Amino acid sequence: MVNIFLLLGVLNLTIVLSCDYHSETGYSSKPFPWNKMRLPKHVVPIHYDLLIHPNLTTLTFTGFAKIEITVLQQTSSIILHSKYLYISKATIQGEMGGIHAEQRVMVSEYPSFDQIALLTDEPLQVGNKYYIVIEYSANLSDSFHGFYKSTYRTPEGEVRVLALTQFEPTAARMAFPCFDEPAFKARFSVKIRREPKHHAVSNMPLVKSVNIMKWLIEDEFETSVKMSTYLVAFMVSDFKSVTKMTTRGIKVSVYTVPYKIKQADYALDSAVKLLDFYEGYFRIPYPLPKQDLAAIPDFQSGAMENWGLTTYRESALIYDPEESLASSRLMITMIIAHELAHQWFGNLVTMEWWNDLWLNEGFAKFMEYVSVNITHPDLGVKDYFLDKFFNAMEVDALNSSHPITHAVEDPAQILEMFDDVSYNKGSCILNMLRDYLGSKVFEAGIVKYLQRFSYQNTQSEDLWNSLSEICSDESQAEDGACARSQETISAAHWTKSALLDIKTMMNTWTLQKGFPLVTVTVKDKNIHLQQEHYMKGSQISPPTGYLWHIPLTYITSKSDIVQRVLLKTKTESLVLPEEVEWIKFNVGMNGYYIVHYGDDGWDALIHLLKANHNAISSNDRASLIHSVFQLVSAEKLCITKALDLTLYLSHESEVTPVSQGLSELVPIYKLLEKRDMSDKADQLKGYLVNLFTNIIDKQSWTDEGSMSERKLRSTLLLFACVNKYQPCVIKATEYFMKWKDSDGTLHLPNDIKLAVYAVGAQTDEGWDFLFSKYNLPKFSTEKGEIEVVLSLSHNKEKLQWIMDEALQGDSIKTQDLPHIVAAVGRNSDGYQLAWKFLKEKWPKLVQKFELGSHSIANMITGVTNKYSTKAQLDEVKDFFSSLDKKSSELRSVEQALETIEDNIKWMDKNLGKIQKWLQINSKPRSCANHYS
């Protein structure tokens, strides 16, 4: 084995990949012996020995894989995954013919399934231990998955190359032959060869480094714990790191490009604090000796939970307290919390197959809020959990949505599972379940789940069973959690039998798509409840007949004590102790459902908001805003009723309802803009500016206040300036000119930067100046904000240029292209350019970002989601129907088409009513005073 390692070390990679290279592998011409996408379970891996040698000059690598396997069923073929790997030699070692021998095998390939078959002369016997030995070579991937290259430019202008991995969900097979399914867990021993000027990191700590030659070093890492292939990670770079220890002595390090290492301190401190929290919360020690966090210059997603070596976009990890927006600190903390939660949920306990991806992602998303709320209380994270409900419901309201647990098979289908349903809906139903069970019972249940299934794979029912068992045997629960919860439950209408039937209850949330609409009818002291599947009015499909077990909560005008009832049937009746003026269900929006109160019920709530909006919480106010507009889409309420409710926002001061008000109202004028109805759009903008003038004028142009106050300031000033509210525009212009005159050295308050930059970018000169700062080290933490404002330009040439430049990837990283395309698509001057770009560059986009990926979905929906004409619908249909079957059947394409159809019908029904309402409710001074 040592000799083979030495041979690979000195192999010239350019010769390996040339057509003259002599392969010792025999390739079979026989029919491939397996016809399913999923691997057979005849053979299971136990341990991988991997030696990887990347060449960062030729952008190639060689590999050696020795895989220990156990045979569970006699077979003459071993089926495993391999993609874009050139196999030069393959053998099997083990007991054959009564003696230990090494046998060369024939290799058969089935590229459509990314599979290879190793064909043996005689069957492999059950119970015997064998070793697969494969030598191979490949190019470093030019995409963002597999073993791929990344680059960065030093402050002096030198371009440097690194190589790293991104395997989730199905790309480990691009770096080494493997059983690339989550249930095939094994241990991994990794060796990396590199030049002395680089260093290597992997999941486990470095054991030793050996000089193979003067110009070649081999790093050997500790053998990993048992884990899935998608969690394997390694990186070769010249990064620098900073390090701290956790309370229990876990070494935590943050790696960045050398000149950004001073911006790693916040991430390091947060990671140490969060790792300590999770060890206490889960009551299971973090099982590895170290946890690395690496900020990658080229990275498609936000971050990745590789065990012991989590990887991140730079914007998701580096933070400059002098220059970064307040919202960046919140985002970075939550992303780190997400990835570190995965070290338990996903890594220690892994879903058996990708149909239950939510067990990984829903839990990690949920734990962001649980952890950060405790470790970083100053960030006010609880103010932002509602966004997850609203984002999930936006997708889940579509007929093209899917259940949380959903059958998938091929890589594109698997990638499509990484969506708002798996992440946000998954987190929302967990939050609802915790509210239902009580936090102590819930915590005890998930600890039991993690302890029972450590290093194993699970399905959803394993979680439900663990939670049910906590209260079936109260002696098992710590701190008397169940006993205390029983008192709460008894007083609040649910019973112990309801608690024990968690599986039946939660199956209604995971095995059915969509969410329930609960209609509340109040007559005297009597309440009638009715549930149905929420469907938009344009959906002509028949009722689904779905029923949910809904843990309802409510408060009334006479009592702010939360009352609880479990609705398991289509209808239910309640009797109040006395008549009430108003009733509000789904207290705090802890439940994943929306509520319709009928016209009279809504009138009472609208009156309450106008008279004393602080009588209910800001979350309850935001949920009312959200619900009333969803009911308009479902044709349960008139648009004028929803607009009447928004009038109270002129007195609102909290970020959650203000943000939700903007989220519901701004898209209406975006629809008008994309019908080229600019006059009507301006009228609505004028109303909105007037609506929020009171709170806009109260904003200071500073960085003072809590996180919520600072986010509100940044949001409102950007909104006001983009919509040409003159007091805002004048002040922002003044700031921008002073900043420009200082050549960008003047320090601007971070909370006003977006507004100031947005105004500055409206002139070509200002736009050019902003872009001249974009790649300077001083502005490295502001790139995302600069991209946003550059996409707001009215200059179509500049909008086209920024998309082209991002695709090329030189001055703007290609990782940012999906966001830029979507941003240009939101621009009334750029939406046609964005659509044309998406069509013309489709093959390149799919090659770079992968079919089914969130990046592709974001571009499709981001560009088209405010289309609302028959001509636009036909154009989108025609384009996607002209593509191959896999592309045309993407769920994001279905969602885009369905959304356009909904928009057409919504506009046909509501546009005239909106215009009449605005004539009555808009102040005449709006356009004259606030627009230029």
List the catalytic residues.
Answer: 339
Sorted by sequence, the CB contacts under 8 Å of residue 64 that are 6+ apart come out as 4, 5, 8, 49, 50, 51, 133, 134, 135, 136
The alpha carbon of residue 212 and the mean position of all alpha carbons in its chain are separated, in whole angstroms, by 42
Q: At 755, phi and psi to the nearest 5?
A: -65, -45
397 and 633 in contact (C-beta within 8 Å)?
yes
Neighbouring CB atoms inside 10 A of 526's CB total: 12
Q: Rounded to whole angstroms, what are the CA distances from 844 to 814, 838, 879?
A: 11, 10, 16
Q: At 175, phi and psi to the nearest 5?
A: -115, -30
Q: At 351, phi and psi to the nearest 5?
A: -60, 145
The alpha carbon of residue 209 and the mean position of all alpha carbons in its chain are separated, in whole angstroms, by 37
Which residue type occupies 146?
G
**Which tokens is 355 given?**
């149909």
Q: Where are the alpha helices (H) located in 460-555, listed in sequence order?
A: 460-472, 481-491, 496-500, 502-510
| SS3 category, 724 | coil
845 and 882 in contact (C-beta within 8 Å)?
no
* 588 φ/ψ sector (left φ>0, alpha ψ -120 to 50, else beta): left
| Whether residue 169 has a cis bond before it, omega within 30° of 0 | yes
Give the number of residues written for the chain.
Answer: 932
> How far apart are the C-alpha atoms of 104 and 93, rounded to whole Å?
9
Four-point Cα dihedral 352, 353, 355, 361, nearest 10: 70
**Which tokens is 745 given?**
């050295």
> How far apart are the C-alpha atoms of 46 and 91, rounded to whole Å?
17
Q: Which residues of 362-392 are buried (b: 16+ CB within 10 A; e: fewer)?
A: bbbbbbbbbbbeebbeebbbebbbbebbbbb
54 and 235 in contact (C-beta within 8 Å)?
no
> How far apart are the C-alpha atoms of 525 and 577, rounded to whole Å?
7
Q: Which residues of 669-678 are buried (b: 16+ CB within 10 A; e: fewer)?
A: bbbbbbbebe
Query: What is the C-alpha radius of gyration for the chain, rounded to an integer number of angstroms?
Result: 29
Q: Rounded to whole angstroms, what are the CA distances from 664 to 637, 660, 670, 731, 891?
A: 15, 6, 11, 27, 24
> How far apart are the C-alpha atoms of 340 and 367, rounded to whole Å?
9
Task: Find the farthest-apart pair of alpha carbons in the chain and give their distance in angstroms, rounded.
Answer: 95
Neighbouring CB atoms inside 10 A of 722's CB total: 19
**Which tokens is 477 given?**
């629960």
Task: Give ∠ CA 387-392-396 in degrees, rounded to 5.
Answer: 150
> How far apart are the C-alpha atoms of 432 and 592, rounded to whole Å?
7
253 and 266 in contact (C-beta within 8 Å)?
no
Q: At 201, phi and psi to the nearest 5?
A: -135, 155
**Which tokens is 153 given?**
């430019």
Q: Rounded to whole angstroms, what are the CA distances from 905 to 46, 534, 678, 768, 785?
A: 57, 17, 20, 41, 35
514 and 403 in contact (C-beta within 8 Å)?
no
Q: Strand pairing partners for 484? A: none
| 3-state SS, one letter per residue, for 531-571 | EEECCCCCCCCCCCCCCCCEEEEEEECCEEEEEEEEECCCE
